[in-house]
Structures are given as structure tokens and as C-alpha cells.
């Protein structure tokens, strides 16, 4: 009798488990189908998605980068002759705009409807909560606090710091050439050291010494953040990009542990030191510290925003500088023209590089912005 009861009980448990699994599967399939009907429901031309990566399935096994995947989307819709189209990144819908006028509307005229870059953030890792990832009212609120930081007057005060860093780079290059002029110069690394020094000085008010020490802390953090990914970090990045809601629920961070610890501790120590010693500096961190003392930012917010300015400032600028120099190396005539333009303006100001001298170098600016190529 006891054995029969046990068997009935076991069978009931198995049936319940099977029904639960089946129902969950049906709900999951319906949910995925609903997510993947987003563009169809809106009558927007779209590319057929493949679960689980949506239209990003070409990432595996071929390892096509997000940049190239986006280019393929653009080309596909352009070939179809449509001004916009829909794709999916994981389960999230993404709009691809192929018409420059529409793109301008998205970025400028109608930006209030497109105020979310879709960058991952999670409250479980305060370093991920910053102006680049914030959206809507939260972004507007943060943005209004930082805008006064980037006035022309403030830029001019930063200029001396930038010039000092460029002199250090110049000395480094001269020394390298003097030692062995046949040696190749890694220009990406040179630019990365330069922009790390600049960002370290204007944002954190510290001398990074990236040229002096190969393993200088801030330069190392830059490498860790953008170049050196361990398997587990890559997996986390993938999860947060393709399944942000699940990642947020699980508290997954897209910033490596070591980088998070470094910036969290550096900012905390700097804030504590300046507050205790009553020290005030002319850097962006000071703006954040002042906002904190006015009750407008928490310490976690100071950490997140300071980190973002490092990440957004150094890598973008070093890549832009590298690409510009690369193009100039390929096109000697443009290089000669830039050089002549720079020298003629320098001669006018007795060789002194100032904020205004630099602003007068219109052709250099055009080349940097890619207009001349
Ligand atoms: C050549 C260098 C740079 C390039 C190509 C670049 C590129 C970009 C792009 C494409 C965006 C997004 C714009 C948008 O969504 O409309 C952005 C935003 C941002 N960048 Fe840069 N950037 C550069 C340098 C810098 C530097 C030096 C800093 C700071 C020190 C910086 C800080 C930021 C911040 C804070 C945002 C977010 C602004 C906001 O949400 O209001 N960037 N950048």
C-alpha cells in the first residue's frame, strides 16, 4: 500500500514537472515571437531574426564585429531602397536609419524621442551608471549639471595641461628617434599614452606618467578596459549587450572587476583626501566633488561619472588621432599641406602654441575631422 502511494505521488510529481516545463516553454516561445514581431506590428521593413541573437547571429562563429554587422544592415536596407529598417539585437528591436536627413532628425531635431543610447547600466554596479548610459529625465538631469564644465573659459584653463602633456609626448618621440631612428613607432600606443595623460590630468588632476612607465596605472586600466579581455569578461560583455534585462536582474556588470576596483578606490581616496585637507583643484573631479557637497550627487554617482569621462575621453581621442596620422602617412601631399599651414600660423605667433593659435589652424582641424581625405 505504502509503495503504491509512493509511486502515485512520484507520478504526480513527474506530471506536474512536465506540465510546468511545457507551460514555461510555451510562454517562452510566445514571448520570443512577440518580441520578434515588434517591427512587423509597426509596419517597418525588417530583417528576419534568429533566436537567440536576433540579427546579430553572424557574430558566431565567424566573429564579425558589431561595427561590420551594422554596416551589413545598412547595406541591406540601402539595397532595398528604404530609408529605415528594423533589426533585433538579441530580443531588443533596433532601428537602422539609412537616410542622412532622417539620421539628422534622430540626432538633433527629434532627439528628445531618441534619448536612450541603449548602453547597459545596472544599479548593482554603480560604475556603470553614468551620463553615457543614462536616459530620459535621468540623463537630462545629469547633463544639466555638467554642461557648465565645458565652457570656452574652462577649456582654456585646461589647455595648458594639454600642452604640457604634448610636450612630454614630443620629448618621448625625440628620445626614441635619437636612440634608434630605424625603430618603428607604435603610434596607437603613443596616442593612447598621450590621451591617458591628458584625461588623467584634466579629469582627475593627476600625472599619469604613461610615457615614463609602461605599466603606469591609468594606462594599464585603459588597456584592461579596451584591449585585454579574459574569457569571463567577454561573456559578461556579451550577456549585458544582448540580454540587458536578464543581466540587470542578475546584477552582471560589463566593466571588469579590476577596473571597477581601481576607479572606485581612486575616486574614493581622492574625494576623502580633498575633503579632509580642504584641497580644491581645477579638474572635472572637483566639479563632481562640489556637486556632491551641494547634495546633487552621491559618491557612487561621482565614481560612475568620473569613470565615464576617462573611458569616453581617452580611447576615442587616441583612435581619432591615430587614424588621422595614418591617413596623413598615406597621403604625403596632404601631410605637406598641413605642415605648411601649421608652420605659417606658428610663425605668426612666434612659435607659441596657445588655445587661439590652435583654433586658427583651420586646415589641421579639417584634416582631423576627416574632411580633407
Ligand atoms: C575624437 C574624440 C571623441 C569622439 C570621436 C567622441 C565620440 C562621441 C560620440 C559618438 C558620442 C555619442 C554622441 C551621441 O550619442 O549623440 C559621445 C558622447 C560623449 N562623449 Fe565623446 N568623443 C570624443 C572625445 C571625448 C572626450 C575627450 C570626452 C571627455 C573628456 C568625451 C566625453 C563624452 C561624454 C561625457 C559623452 C556623453 C554626452 C552626453 O550624454 O550628454 N568624449 N562621444
Q: Determine the longest span between alpha carbons in the chain, in angstroms.
A: 106
Give the domain extent around 108. 2-126
121 and 28 housed in the same domain: yes
70 and 206 housed in the same domain: no
223 and 296 housed in the same domain: yes
Q: How much is the pLDDT for 244?
A: 93
Q: What's the 251 CA to ligand 1 centre distance in angstroms? A: 26
Q: How much is the pLDDT for 97?
A: 97
278: left (phi over 0), alpha (psi -120 to 50) or beta: left
Q: What's the 119 CA to ligand 1 centre distance in angstroms? A: 13
**Ligand 1 atom at shortest distance from the alpha carbon of 319:** 1
Cα 292 to Cα 256: distance, rounded to the nearest angstrom: 26
Ligand 1, atom 43: nearest CA belongs to which residue? 312
- Per the listing, cell 602633456 goes with 165
208 and 113 housed in the same domain: no
Q: How much is the pLDDT for 213?
A: 95
238 and 282 housed in the same domain: yes
287 and 206 housed in the same domain: yes
pLDDT in tens, the chain (373 residues): 666 666 776 788 888 999 999 999 999 999 999 999 999 999 999 999 999 999 998 887 777 888 999 999 999 999 999 999 999 999 999 999 999 999 999 999 999 899 899 999 999 999 999 999 999 999 999 999 988 878 888 888 889 999 999 999 999 999 999 999 898 999 999 999 999 999 999 999 999 999 999 999 999 999 999 988 788 998 999 899 989 999 999 999 999 999 999 999 999 999 999 999 999 988 999 999 999 999 999 999 999 999 999 999 999 999 999 999 999 999 999 999 999 999 999 999 999 999 999 999 999 999 998 875 6
Q: Please tell me if the CB atom of residue 93 comes closer than 6 angstroms to any atom of ligand 1.
A: no
With the most atoms of ligand 1 within 8 angstroms of its CB, the residue from 312, 314, 323, 368 to mutate is 312
Ligand 1, atom 20: nearest CA belongs to which residue? 312
Q: Which of 256, 41, 239 is nearest to 127 (CA)?
A: 256
**126, 161, 195 - which closes a domain:** 126
Q: Please tell me if the CB atom of residue 320 comes closer than 6 angstroms to any atom of ligand 1.
A: yes
81 and 207 housed in the same domain: no
Give the burial class of 357: count Cβ atoms within 10 A of its Cβ; 0-12 exposed, 13-18 middle, 19 or more buried: middle
Q: How much is the pLDDT for 177?
A: 94
Q: How much is the pLDDT for 234?
A: 87
359: left (phi over 0), alpha (psi -120 to 50) or beta: alpha
19 and 104 housed in the same domain: yes
Query: Cell numbers of 317, please?
Result: 581621442
169 and 253 housed in the same domain: yes
Q: How much is the pLDDT for 5?
A: 62
Q: How much is the pLDDT for 6?
A: 63
Give per-residue burial for 275-285: e unless 16+ CB within 10 Å, then b: eeeeeeeebbb
32 domain residue, yes or no? yes
CATH number for the domain including 234? Answer: 1.10.630.10
107 domain residue, yes or no? yes
185 and 96 housed in the same domain: no
Q: Which of 255, 292, 231, 297 is nearest to 133 (CA)?
A: 255
Domain count, the chain: 2
Q: Please tell me if the CB atom of residue 309 comes closer than 6 angstroms to any atom of ligand 1.
A: yes
**β-pair type (84-89, 92-97):** antiparallel
276 domain residue, yes or no? yes
Reduced to 3 states (helix: H, G, I; strand: E, B; else coil), residue 97 is strand
**91, 126, 161 - which closes a domain:** 126
Amino acid at each position: 500500500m505504502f509503495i503504491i502511494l509512493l509511486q502515485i505521488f512520484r507520478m504526480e510529481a513527474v506530471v506536474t514537472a512536465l506540465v510546468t516545463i511545457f507551460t514555461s516553454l510555451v510562454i517562452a516561445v510566445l514571448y520570443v515571437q512577440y518580441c520578434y514581431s515588434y517591427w512587423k506590428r509597426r509596419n517597418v521593413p525588417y530583417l528576419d531574426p534568429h533566436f537567440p541573437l536576433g540579427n546579430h547571429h553572424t557574430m558566431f562563429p565567424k566573429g564579425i564585429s558589431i561595427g561590420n554587422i551594422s554596416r551589413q544592415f545598412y547595406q541591406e536596407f540601402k539595397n532595398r531602397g528604404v530609408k529605415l529598417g528594423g533589426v533585433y539585437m538579441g530580443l531588443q528591436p533596433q532601428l537602422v536609419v539609412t537616410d542622412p536627413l532622417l539620421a539628422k532628425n534622430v540626432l538633433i531635431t527629434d532627439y528628445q524621442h531618441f534619448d536612450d543610447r541603449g548602453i547597459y547600466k545596472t544599479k548593482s554596479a554603480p560604475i556603470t551608471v553614468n551620463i553615457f548610459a543614462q536616459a530620459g529625465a535621468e540623463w537630462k538631469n545629469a547633463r544639466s549639471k555638467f554642461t557648465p564644465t565645458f565652457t570656452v573659459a574652462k577649456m582654456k584653463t585646461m589647455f595648458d595641461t594639454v600642452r604640457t602633456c604634448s610636450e612630454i609626448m614630443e620629448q618621448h618621440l625625440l628620445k626614441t628617434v635619437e636612440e634608434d631612428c630605424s625603430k618603428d613607432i607604435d603610434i596607437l600606443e603613443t596616442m593612447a599614452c598621450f590621451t591617458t595623460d591628458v584625461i588623467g590630468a584634466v579629469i582627475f588632476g593627476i600625472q599619469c606618467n604613461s610615457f615614463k612607465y609602461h605599466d603606469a596605472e591609468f594606462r594599464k586600466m585603459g588597456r584592461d578596459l579596451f584591449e585585454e579581455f579574459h574569457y569571463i569578461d567577454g561573456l559578461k560583455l556579451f550577456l549585458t549587450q544582448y540580454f540587458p534585462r536578464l543581466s540587470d536582474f542578475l546584477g552582471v556588470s560589463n566593466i571588469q572587476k579590476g577596473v571597477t576596483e581601481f576607479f572606485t578606490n581612486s575616486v574614493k581616496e581622492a574625494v576623502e583626501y580633498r575633503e579632509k585637507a580642504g584641497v580644491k583643484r581645477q579638474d572635472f573631479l572637483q566639479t563632481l566633488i562640489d556637486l556632491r557637497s551641494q547634495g546633487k550627487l552621491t559618491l557612487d554617482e561621482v565614481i560612475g561619472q568620473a569613470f565615464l569621462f576617462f573611458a569616453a575621453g581617452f580611447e576615442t581621442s587616441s583612435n581619432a588621432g591615430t587614424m588621422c596620422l595614418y591617413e596623413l602617412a598615406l597621403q604625403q601631399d596632404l601631410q605637406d599641406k598641413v605642415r605648411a599651414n601649421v608652420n605659417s600660423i606658428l610663425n605668426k605667433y612666434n612659435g607659441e602654441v596657445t588655445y587661439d593659435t590652435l583654433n586658427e589652424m583651420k586646415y589641421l582641424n579639417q584634416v582631423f575631422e576627416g574632411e580633407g581625405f
